[in-house]
Structure 1
Amino acid sequence: MYCFFNFLYHLVLVIMVCFSIFVNHGFAGKMKIVEAPNTFGINNNLLAQGSRLQPKAIASPVSGPAHLARLAGRCFSLTESLYRYELCPFHNITQHEQSFRWNAYSGILGIWHEWEIANNSFTGMWMRDGDTCGTRNRQAKVIFTCSSQSKLAQVSEPSTCMYSVTFETPLVCHPHSLLVYPSLNEKLQKDWDDAEQARYEGLITEQGYNNLLRDVFEDGGFLKSQKVKQTVSKVQVETEVHDSLQKCNEDVRNQREEIARLKELLTLHNIPIGTKPDGTKGGETPTVTQHLRGDVGLFELSDQN
C-alpha cells in the first residue's frame, strides 16, 4: 500500500511539472516583444510613412569651405552603449536606442542650421530644431578634428538636450582648412577689407565692425540671416507709405472737385471769381511803404527841422 501511494504521489508531481511547463511555453509563444524600428536617417524609404522621423525645419544650403562640400550626401554612424548615432553633415544628426523596450527612442537631435565662427575660423557646425525636449528643441554642435579617415568619433550630452559631436576627417588637417576669408567670394572679401580699414581708422566702433562682419557672413551663407524681421518691417513701412499716398491723392481729387463746384456756383450768381468780400480784386495787392530799420525816420526828422 505504501508503494502505491508513493507511486501516485510522484505521478501527480510529474503531471503538475509538465502542466506548468506547457502553460509557460504556451503563453510565451503568444507574447509579443515590440522593438522600435531602426529609422536611421530621417526619410528611410524602407519604412512606412508613419514610422519616419518628422523634421521640424528644412536644412540650410551647403556652405563653408569648398572642400567640405564633398561630405554632403554622406552619413557616418557610431554605436555607443545602447545608442546608435548617425551624422549626415549639412543635413541632420539622429539618435536610435538599440534596445527591446517597446518605447525605445529614435529621434532627431538637430538639423543643419549654420556655422559657428570665431577668429576668422569655422569652429563648429550647428544642428538645431531637433525633437522637442521639455520647453525647447534638441540641438547639437559638431566639432571637426584632424584624423586619417572621416568618421563620427564621439557624441556626448554636456547638458540636457544639448549634444556635443566630434567628427574626425583628413579634410581639416591643413592649418588653413577652416579659415573663413578664403571661403568668401571677391565682393565679400572686399567688404571685409573695407570693414577692417574703417575700424583701423577709427571710423566705426567695435560693435559696428562686428555687425558688418556678421552681414558678410550672412551674405556668404555661413550664418542664418537675421534680416527677415527687418525686411518684413520695411515692407510694412512701405505699405503704410503707399496707403498714405493713395489717401493723399484721393484728398486732392476731392478738393479739386469741390473747387470746381464752388466756381460753378459763383458763376451762376454772377459773382466774379477773383473778387473778395470787401470788393477788391483778388489779383491786386495794396502798396505798402516799407521802412528799413529806423534810418528813414531819422532822415524825415532832419527834413522837418
Structure 2
Amino acid sequence: MHLGNEISSLIKLWMVCVSLFINHGFAGKMKIVEEPNTFGLNNPFLAQGSRLQPKVTPSSVSGPLHLHQLAGKCFSLTESVYKYEFCPFHNITQHEQSFRWNAYSGILGIWQEWEIVNNTLTGMWMRDGDACGTRNRETKVIFVCSTSSKLAQVSEPSTCVYSLTFETPLVCHPHSLLVYPILTEQLQGEWDEAEQARYEGLITEQGYNNLLRDIFEDAGLLKSQKVKVKLPEDAADSEIHNSLQKCTEDFQKQSEEIERLRALLTQHNIPYDSKPNEAKGTVTVTVKDQHLRGDHGLIDLL
C-alpha cells in the first residue's frame, strides 16, 4: 500500500514535469503581437524620423533681432501626463507621458508667421500641425515679460487650437515688440506713404490694410499670400535659345544678301563705296557710274 502511494506520487510529478516542458516549448513558438507605431513615439529606441513627421517646412526666422537668439533652443513644460516642447521659429510638440500602447505624441504647430495688431507683434502662430478631424492643429504663442525664459502654460481654448504662454525677459521693454522700428528704411517709407494717403482720404481703410500686409510680407513677418507663377526653366531657356537662333539666322541672311549685291555690282564693273551708316548702323552702297557695261538689262538694286 505504501509502495502504491509512492508510485502514484511519482506519476503525478512526472506529469507535472511533462506539462511544464510542453507549455514552455509551445511558449517559445507563440506569435508575439507587435505594438502599433504610435507607441514608439515615446520609445527612445525608435528612430527620431519615425516619431514626428512635419507637413511643411518652418518659415524663416523673423521679427525683432533680440528674439532671434531664441532660434535653435527648446523649452519644455509637463502638465498632468503631457509634456509640451516649444522650439521658437521651429515647432511645438506634445508627448503623452504614458506606457499605453497608443500614447499620443505629435506636432501642435509649425512656425508660420507673426500676429500683428496696431503696430505690435501680439503672438507667434504655429500652424499645419498634425491632423485633428478635418483640420490641422495650430497654436498661438503669447510672449509675457518675466525674469527668465520658460514655457509657462498651455491650454486648448477651442478644439485643435492651442494657446501657449512663453515668459521671457526679452519682451520686458515697452518697445520690444513694436513693428515699425524693425522695418527697413524703404519699408518704413512705404508705411509713411500709406499713412499719408489714408489721412488724405486717397485710399480706403481696406486699401490701407492691404498695403500694410504687403509691407509686413516683404519684411518676412507674415507668410506671403501672393501667387507666384514661375515658368519652367526649360521653357525659359528654350525661349531665349529660339530668340538668339532667330537673330543669328536673320544676320546670316542679311550678310549673304549684301555679298550677293556686291558680287552683282562687281560683275558689271560698277564702282561702289562701303561705309557704315552711323545713324542706322547699316552699310550704304554708293554707285558712281550708272552706265552698265556689257548688259543693258534692268537691274533692281533695291
- TM-score class, shorter-chain normalisation, is 0.5 to 0.7
Distance in 1 of aligned mates of 2:127 and 2:111: 6
User: What's the secondary structure of 1:198's corresponding residue?
Assistant: helix
Instruction: Return the match for 2:39 from 36, 40, 57.
Output: 36
Identity rate, percent: 74
Aligned to 2:117: 118
TM-score for both structures, normalised by structure 1:
0.62
Distance in 1 of aligned mates of 2:148 and 2:48: 35
CA contact (8 A) 1:115 1:126 kept: yes
CA contact (8 A) 2:41 2:104 kept: no
Q: Deviations over 1:84-122 (max 9, x none)?
A: 000000000000001111000000000000000000000
Letter of the 1:227 partner, please give it: K
Aligned to 1:143: 142
User: What's the secondary structure of 2:58's corresponding residue?
Assistant: coil
Distance in 1 of aligned mates of 2:127 and 2:63: 17
CA contact (8 A) 1:96 1:106 kept: yes
User: What's the secondary structure of 2:214's corresponding residue?
Assistant: helix
Q: Deviations over 1:125-157 (max 9, x none)?
A: 000000000001000000000000000000001
RMSD of the alignment, in Å?
A: 2.9
User: What's the secondary structure of 1:90's corresponding residue?
Assistant: coil
CA contact (8 A) 2:41 2:105 kept: yes
Letter of the 1:36 partner, please give it: F
CA contact (8 A) 2:41 2:51 kept: no
User: What's the secondary structure of 2:143's corresponding residue?
Assistant: strand
Aligned to 1:183: 182
Aligned to 1:205: 204
CA contact (8 A) 2:59 2:111 kept: yes
Quickly say closer, same or farther: Cα 1:103–1:207, change in 2 above 3 A: same
Aligned to 1:106: 105
CA contact (8 A) 2:40 2:51 kept: no
Distance in 1 of aligned mates of 2:67 and 2:226: 27
Aligned to 1:168: 167
Distance in 1 of aligned mates of 2:82 and 2:204: 48
CA contact (8 A) 1:117 1:123 kept: yes
CA contact (8 A) 1:144 1:172 kept: yes
CA contact (8 A) 1:98 1:104 kept: yes
Q: Deviations over 1:136-179 (max 9, x none)?
A: 10000000000000000000011111000000000000000000
CA contact (8 A) 1:33 1:100 kept: no
Distance in 2 of aligned mates of 1:156 and 1:222: 25
Kindly state the Cα deviation for residue 80 of structure 1 after the two structures are TM-superposed: 0.1
CA contact (8 A) 1:39 1:53 kept: no
Distance in 2 of aligned mates of 1:58 and 1:79: 26
Aligned to 1:83: 82
Letter of the 1:177 partner, please give it: S
Quickly say closer, same or farther: Cα 1:179–1:50, change in 2 above 3 A: closer
Letter of the 1:101 partner, please give it: R
Kindly state the Cα deviation for residue 203 of structure 1 after the two structures are TM-superposed: 1.1
Distance in 2 of aligned mates of 1:121 and 1:194: 19
Distance in 1 of aligned mates of 2:212 and 2:171: 23
TM-score for both structures, normalised by structure 2:
0.63
Letter of the 2:39 partner, please give it: A
Distance in 2 of aligned mates of 1:49 and 1:178: 35
Aligned to 2:281: none
Kindly state the Cα deviation for residue 183 of structure 1 after the two structures are TM-superposed: 1.0
User: What's the secondary structure of 1:36's corresponding residue?
Assistant: helix
Distance in 2 of aligned mates of 1:206 and 1:116: 19
Aligned to 1:152: 151
Distance in 1 of aligned mates of 2:141 and 2:190: 29
Distance in 2 of aligned mates of 1:39 and 1:170: 32
Distance in 2 of aligned mates of 1:145 and 1:95: 21
Asked if residue 60 in structure 1 is aligned to residue 59 in structure 2, the reply is: yes
Letter of the 1:179 partner, please give it: L
Kindly state the Cα deviation for residue 201 of structure 1 after the two structures are TM-superposed: 1.2
Unpaired runs of at least 5, structure 2 = 1-22, 243-302
Distance in 2 of aligned mates of 1:36 and 1:154: 26
Aligned to 2:283: none
User: What's the secondary structure of 2:63's corresponding residue?
Assistant: coil
Q: Deviations over 1:4-30 (max 9, x none)?
A: xxxxxxxxxxxxxxxxxxx9xxx9xx9
Distance in 2 of aligned mates of 1:193 and 1:168: 33
Kindly state the Cα deviation for residue 200 of structure 1 after the two structures are TM-superposed: 1.0
Question: Structure 2 matches for 1:243-258, cutoff 5 A?
Answer: none
